[in-house]
Amino acid sequence: MKKNDRIELNITAMSSEGVGLGRSDGMAVFVSGTAVGDVVLAHIIKVKSRYAIGKLVQVLKPSEDRKDVDCPAFKSCGGCAFRHITYESELAVKQKTVEDAINRIGGIPLKSQKIIPSPKYEGYRNKAQYPITMGENGISYGFFARHSHRVIQSNNCFLQPRVFEDIMQTIKAWADKNGVIAYNEETKTGLLRHVLIRRGEKTGEIMVVPVINGDKLPNSNELIQMLKEAVGENFKSLCYNINTSDSNVVLGDKNVFVYGNHTIKDVLCGVCLEISPHSFYQVNRDAAELLYKKAAEYIKPEHRVIVDLYCGIGSIGLSLLKLCGSEGRRLYGVEIVPQAVENAKKNAVANGFAECEFICGDASKAALELKVKKISPDVVVLDPPRKGCNAELLNTVAFDFAPERIVYISCDPSTLARDSKILVENGYKLERYTPVDLFPGTAHVETVALFTK
């Protein structure tokens, strides 16, 4: 096989990123836009020693899993991976991805529990970060192309609620009217970098956060009035975030509030939560409820002390108290973002949870601080970022805390598998794990795992 060959290929598997896989003369060939069961004509564009990459030329025989693509930006946008196959097929790919990681990377021959689907397939996101660029007619917005910082214009994204598009159209009209220029990564000039939108799914409350390369948002009063007209009474907060750094980080450290509240509210598992611009909050509220309810199944009545080492605004720990009962229980939460810690403290008080303590700091260092205080948890909850937990933290959890149970919530199957292997080596058993689809259409999948001592 060589570059520019055209081959007929049977697609027999799919990668976690939604790329079809077939074999030709023993060589693995990856072809985007294909589905398991497809017979396709592929044009080879790259050949390596162990695999090749092909470009789809024609579907000769379509798979039963295939469906019509409903988004014109699908081929170029880096958001979705599975809009060309049915949701049932997508769920099967995600479950297999998690199971393969646990088996292969973790070295644990345990089958996955059945994946829990999202209650919504479209319009489920309560948060969006739109990169801004200059288009032919003023500013343009959308999402980054795969593996790049090239902005693909995307209006009416199916993952976002309709009101987000109304907000972005309003911001475009305001920016174009006032001569606001998009930030240019190469020249480091221009003002508007991103727009962050957050929405409380249950309450409807909306926060809008333009991210600027400067220290002032021009004509903010005009923007406030335009957003009021576009969104109505659900528009609760406008602040601009200052980010003048030469980096890919979306948000800077400083927020300047110019309208409304400093937070918006949402309700999750019966817990009322305050959310600020920097707060971590699961983007799919309805599916997050299913995720936390599954985690709550692993908390026994005799478990009195819970340590939540990546607590965010308290959404996980407080939800577990609500679902399992707070009487006689104490929750310790750890979070590195100061705003989120303040939100967590307020959320605990507002919901009547008195026996809670929240610490601002790195999870590893805070875990040692709790150890010095002789905190002896029955359950440790881990919900780390995509990079997972470091070995030092896992050692502290396993050997110093030594809880009866560890509940690990993961957004990355490979780091979950890696950390599972360490926990098993440290004396824990992976009892069960359940994928939960919080991100329909995309390549991401959440997993909740139970480890017992």
Per-residue model confidence (pLDDT) at position 145: 81
Per-residue model confidence (pLDDT) at position 136: 84
> CA dist 100 to 107, 312, 418, Å?
10, 29, 12
Q: Identify the active-site residue in 77, 157, 239, 411.
A: 411
Sort residue 241 into left (φ over 0), alpha (ψ -120 to 50) or beta. beta
Name the DSSP letter for residue 185.
T
Distance, first Cα to last Cα, the chain: 51
For the residues of 59-126, what is the DSSP string, one character each? EEE--TTB-----TTTTTBSS-S-TTB-HHHHHHHHHHHHHHHHHHTS----PPPPPBPPS-SSS--S
Listed in order, the ranges of the chain carrying CATH 2.40.50.1070 are: 127-264
For the residues of 288-348, what is the DSSP string, one character each? HHHHHHHHHTT--TT--EEEETT-TTTHHHHHHHHHH--TT-EEEEEES-HHHHHHHHHHH
Other Cβ atoms closer than 10 A to 309 = 27
Give the Cα separation of 403 and 410 in Å (integer). 19
Give the Cα separation of 429 and 114 in Å (integer). 20
Per-residue model confidence (pLDDT) at position 362: 86
Strand order in the sheet with 429-436: 356-360, 330-335, 305-308, 379-382, 405-410, 446-452, 429-436
Sort residue 128 into left (φ over 0), alpha (ψ -120 to 50) or beta. beta
- CATH 2.40.50.1070 is held by the domain 127-264: yes
Listed in order, the ranges of the chain carrying CATH 2.40.50.140 are: 6-66
Q: Which CATH class is domain 94-119+284-452?
A: alpha beta
Residues 6+ apart with CB under 8 A from 345: 314, 356, 358
Is residue 269 among the annotated active site residues?
Answer: no
Per-residue model confidence (pLDDT) at position 147: 74
Give the Cα separation of 232 and 255 in Å (integer). 23
- Please check whether residue 29 is in contact with residue 51, taking contact to mean a CB–CB distance below 8 angstroms: yes
Statement: the pTM of the whole predicted model exceeds 0.85: yes
Give the Cα separation of 36 and 11 in Å (integer). 5
Give the Cα separation of 411 and 414 in Å (integer). 9
Per-residue model confidence (pLDDT) at position 135: 86
Largest CA distance in the chain: 69
Q: Which residues pair with 28 in a beta bridge?
A: 23, 51
Give the Cα separation of 370 and 391 in Å (integer). 18
> CA dist 215 to 158, 189, 232, 251, 254, Å?
33, 13, 28, 14, 10
Which tokens in the block code for residue 109? 């021959």
Give the Cα separation of 191 and 213 in Å (integer). 5
- Give the CATH fold of the 6-66 domain: OB fold (Dihydrolipoamide Acetyltransferase, E2P) (2.40.50)
Which tokens in the block code for residue 361? 């700091």
- Please check whether residue 262 is in contact with residue 232, taking contact to mean a CB–CB distance below 8 angstroms: no
- In one-letter notation, the amino acid at residue 161 is P
Per-residue model confidence (pLDDT) at position 119: 97
**Residue 262, φ and ψ in degrees, nearest 5:** -85, -10
Q: 3-state DSSP call for residue 241?
A: strand
User: What does each of the 453 residues of the chain score in pLDDT, given as a tens digit?
Assistant: 889 999 999 999 999 888 999 999 889 999 999 999 999 999 999 999 999 999 999 999 999 999 999 888 888 887 899 999 999 999 999 999 999 999 999 999 999 999 999 999 999 999 999 999 998 889 999 898 877 788 888 888 999 999 999 999 999 999 999 999 999 988 999 999 999 999 999 999 999 999 999 999 999 999 999 999 999 999 999 999 999 998 889 999 999 999 999 999 999 999 999 999 998 899 999 999 999 999 999 999 999 999 999 999 999 999 999 999 999 999 999 998 898 999 999 999 999 999 999 999 888 888 888 888 888 999 999 999 999 999 999 999 999 899 999 999 999 999 999 999 999 999 999 999 999 999 999 999 999 999 999
Q: What is the CA radius of gyration of the chain?
A: 23
